[in-house]
Amino acid sequence: MNTLIIAVLSFIGFIVAYHTYGKWLARKIFGLDAEAPVPSQELQDDVDYVPTKKEVIFGHHFTSIAGTGPIVGPAIAVFWGWLPALLWVVLGSVFIGAVHDFGALVVSLRNRGQSVGEVAGRMIGPRAKFLFLFVLFMGLTIVLAIFGLVIALIFSYYPESVLSVWVEIPLAIGIGIWIHRQGRNILVPSIIALGVMYIAMGVGAYLLPIDLGAWLGIPLLGKTYLNVVVIWTLVLFVYCFIASVLPVWTLLQPRDFINSHELVLALLLLILGLAVAGFTGGADLVASAPAVASDIPPDAPPIWPFLFITIACGAVSGFHCMVSSGTSSKQVESESDAQYVGYGAMLLEGGLAVIVILACCAGIGMGIFNRTGTGANYTFEPIVKAESAAPVMNQDAWRTRYATITTTINADGTTTVVGGWASHNLKAKVSAFVDGGGNFLASLGIPLKMGIAIMAVLVASFAATTLDTATRLQRYVIHELAQTANIKPLMNRYIATAFALVLAAAVALLQGPSGPGSGGLTLWPLFGATNQLLAGLAFMVIVFYLVRRNKPIWFAFLPMIVMLIMPAWAMLHQMFDPQTGWLFTGKYLLFGFGVIVEALQIWMVAEGVIAWRNARGNYPELPPLESVTAD
Q: What is the DSSP string of 33-85?
A: -TTS--HHHHT--SSS---B-HHHHHHHHHHHH-SSHHHHHHHHHGGG-HHHH
pTM of the model: 0.87
Q: What is the pLDDT of residues 275-322, one digit of tens each?
A: 887 677 666 666 667 788 776 666 678 888 989 988 988 899 999 999
Q: What is the pLDDT of residues 162-201, one digit of tens each?
A: 999 999 999 999 999 988 887 777 888 999 999 999 999 9
Band of the pLDDT at 404, cuts 50, 70, 90?
A: very low
State mean pLDDT over 117-131: 90
How many Å apart are CA 176 and CA 251, to the nearest integer?
Answer: 6
User: Which of 392-406, 412-426, 519-533 tops mean pLDDT?
Assistant: 519-533
Crossing angle for the helix pair 54-65 and 448-485, to the nearest 10 degrees: 90
CB 24 within 8 A of CB 372: no
Alpha-carbon separation of residue 363 from 5, 281, 446, 505 (angstroms): 15, 12, 15, 35
How many Å apart are CA 18 and CA 36, to the nearest integer?
Answer: 23
CATH topology of domain 2-380+422-627: Hydantoin permease (1.10.4160)
DSSP state of 158: -
CB 556 within 8 A of CB 101: no
Band of the pLDDT at 41, cuts 50, 70, 90?
A: very high
User: What local confidence, expressed as pLDDT, does residue 536 receive?
Assistant: 95
How many Å apart are CA 273 and CA 452, to the nearest integer?
Answer: 13
Residue 390: is its pLDDT beyond 80? no
Of 247-261, 274-288, 405-419, 564-578, the least confident? 405-419
Radius of gyration of the chain from Cα atoms? 23
State mean pLDDT over 255-268: 87
What are the sequence ranges of the domains in the chain? 2-380+422-627
How many Å apart are CA 250 and CA 494, to the nearest integer?
Answer: 17
User: What local confidence, expressed as pLDDT, does residue 408 receive?
Assistant: 42
CB 428 within 8 A of CB 74: no
Side-chain half-sphere CA neighbours of 222 within 13 A: 12
- Run of H or E residues at 377: strand 377-381
Band of the pLDDT at 484, cuts 50, 70, 90?
A: confident
Of 53-57, 131-135, 490-494, the least confident? 131-135
How many Å apart are CA 566 and CA 276, to the nearest integer?
Answer: 39
User: Which of 9-18, 268-277, 482-491 tops mean pLDDT?
Assistant: 9-18
Residue 558: which residues within 8 A CB-CB, separation 6 or more? none
CB 273 within 8 A of CB 443: yes
How many Å apart are CA 333 and CA 113, to the nearest integer?
Answer: 12
Side-chain half-sphere CA neighbours of 558 within 13 A: 7
Beta carbons within 10 angstroms of residue 577's beta carbon: 15
How many Å apart are CA 493 and CA 48, to the nearest integer?
Answer: 11
Alpha-carbon separation of residue 135 from 130, 389, 422, 542 (angstroms): 9, 55, 28, 17
CA dihedral sign of residues 174, 178, 181, 187: negative
Crossing angle for the helix pair 126-157 and 426-442, to the nearest 10 degrees: 60
How many Å apart are CA 615 and CA 376, to the nearest integer?
Answer: 60
Q: Is 350 exposed, middle or buried (0-12, 13-18, 19+ CB in 10 A)?
A: buried
The string of DSSP letters for 23-47 reads HHIIIIIS---TTS--HHHHT--SS
Instruction: Tell which residue, 399, 420, 419, has the closest CA to residue 299.
Output: 420
Helices (H), 281-302: 285-288
Instruction: Tell which residue, 491, 427, 496, 493, has the closest CA to residue 459.
Output: 427
User: Which of 230-234, 333-337, 412-416, 594-598 tops mean pLDDT?
Assistant: 333-337
How many Å apart are CA 370 and CA 385, to the nearest integer?
Answer: 11
Q: Are strands 415-418 and 406-409 parallel, antiparallel or unpaired?
A: antiparallel
Q: How far is CA 35 from the centre of its chain?
A: 32
- Run of H or E residues at 407: strand 406-409
Of 198-207, 285-294, 331-340, 607-616, the least confident? 285-294
User: What local confidence, expressed as pLDDT, does residue 271 receive?
Assistant: 83
